[in-house]
Amino acid sequence: MKLYRVVTDFFHRYFSDEEAVILFFLFLIFFFLLYWFGKILTPMFAAVIIAYLLSPLIDKIERFKIPHSIAVTLVFLCFFGLVTVSLLILIPSLVRQVSSLVADVPRMMGLLQTEIASLPMRFPDLFSDEVVGQWVTSFDLKKVGQQLSLWLPDVLSFSLYTIPSLISFLVYAIVVPLMVFFLLKDREQLWGSFKNILPERRRLMNQIASEMNIQIANYIRGKAVEILIVGGVSYITLQILGLEYAALLAVLIGLSVLVPYIGAIFVTIPVFAAGVLQWGFTPDLYSVLIAYLIIQMLDGNVLVPLLFSEAVNLHPVAIIVAVIIFGGVWGFWGVFFAIPLATLVKAIFNAWPKHQELENTGA
């Protein structure tokens, strides 16, 4: 009887409101659809996100008495024109650096082997000649580098020119822009049709939607600006310091902001490795590491508070758990939207109607 009373009290407290029950099942269906059909529907999600970000620009243009169709066309052409030009500039640079990296792998492995062999002289208390000698003789890193330099081009060509990859690229390059255009052009009609599916009583849904509309818009726009600023500043800094493969490393550093805390830690490894293989343990390496740490500190303590001033305060543990859970379920998009999804869960929990527990008759 006690277990029965606990269960009935729980359902009375959290599910006695009809709208709460409907909302629960809607989110359950939504998350199951994302889990099972997330990869198939990725182009649609990408188009919806882009259209969502571009909608405020169209509203601002329409305030100047410009017709809706013209405003949509202007924003659409400007956005995808800018993306196309950026890719035409960025991709050739990345391809050149990848090709240079592949050709340079044997030299890097030789330098790494030399650095390992010099460890007993640098740190005699930590490494002995016998142990390091066994490492050097066991692993001929130069030969490994030569094998990698022969193997990597085949892997890259296979990944770039297989039919599935080509089809996926065509889907994104053609279907996504078309969907974005029609989502922007007919957004009022589409939104009206979607609202007809929802129940008439949706006070709870409207409360959560109004809060999340501000949070998600602020987060996506802020992340896009943060990626551009962090990546651009990193490229300029690494280029000035003379580090090779500055463009590749800058792209990695810029994308690392998508994964709070964890991304910055993981990207430190390729930055450190590139510096060691180019200069060894010299002042040039320490200059690069100090510059990288300064960029990360400015990003975390200056840029993020400025860009996300309206964001809901989430504990770092909650953010890391959200990245792990949503990233494991939905991959890249789960990582990208980990913080908004965690904020959504928090908003639902805060707005969820909670009725008082049934009074204990035995009291």
User: Is residue 252, in this structure, part of any structural domain at all?
Assistant: yes
How many domains, the chain?
1
pLDDT at 83: 85
Backbone region of residue 123 per phi and psi (left: phi > 0; alpha: psi in -120 to 50; beta: other values)? beta
User: Is residue 360, in this structure, part of any structural domain at all?
Assistant: no
What sections of 118-162 are H helices per DSSP? 119-122, 129-138, 141-161
- Residue 164 CA to residue 157 CA, distance in Å, equals 13
User: Is residue 69, in this structure, part of any structural domain at all?
Assistant: no
Calculate mean pLDDT across residues 81-92.
Answer: 82
User: Is residue 144, in this structure, part of any structural domain at all?
Assistant: no
167-218 pLDDT per residue, tens: 666 667 788 899 999 999 998 888 788 777 766 766 777 777 776 776 777 7
- Residue 252 CA to residue 234 CA, distance in Å, equals 10
Tell me the CA distances in angstroms from 318 to 77, 122, 218, 261, one per residue in order. Answer: 39, 42, 19, 12
Query: What is the domain range of residue 332?
Result: 203-354
- Residue 301 CA to residue 186 CA, distance in Å, equals 41
pTM of the entire predicted model:
0.66
User: Is residue 15, in this structure, part of any structural domain at all?
Assistant: no
Tell me the CA distances in angstroms from 306 to 39, 105, 147, 201, 318, one per residue in order. Answer: 33, 40, 47, 37, 21
Calculate mean pLDDT across residues 141-148.
Answer: 54
316-334 pLDDT per residue, tens: 777 778 888 887 777 777 7
pLDDT at 143: 57
User: Is residue 301, in this structure, part of any structural domain at all?
Assistant: yes
Question: Tokens in use for 361?
Answer: 């008759």
Give the residue with greater pLDDT, 150 vs 222: 222
Q: Is 109 exposed, middle or buried (0-12, 13-18, 19+ CB in 10 A)?
A: buried
pLDDT at 196: 76
Q: Is 231 exposed, middle or buried (0-12, 13-18, 19+ CB in 10 A)?
A: buried
Percent of the chain scored above 70 by pLDDT? Answer: 76
Question: Tokens in use for 61?
Answer: 């243009």
The helices-and-strands tally (H runs, E runs) of the chain is 17, 0
User: Is residue 282, in this structure, part of any structural domain at all?
Assistant: yes
162 pLDDT more than 60: no
User: Is residue 212, in this structure, part of any structural domain at all?
Assistant: yes
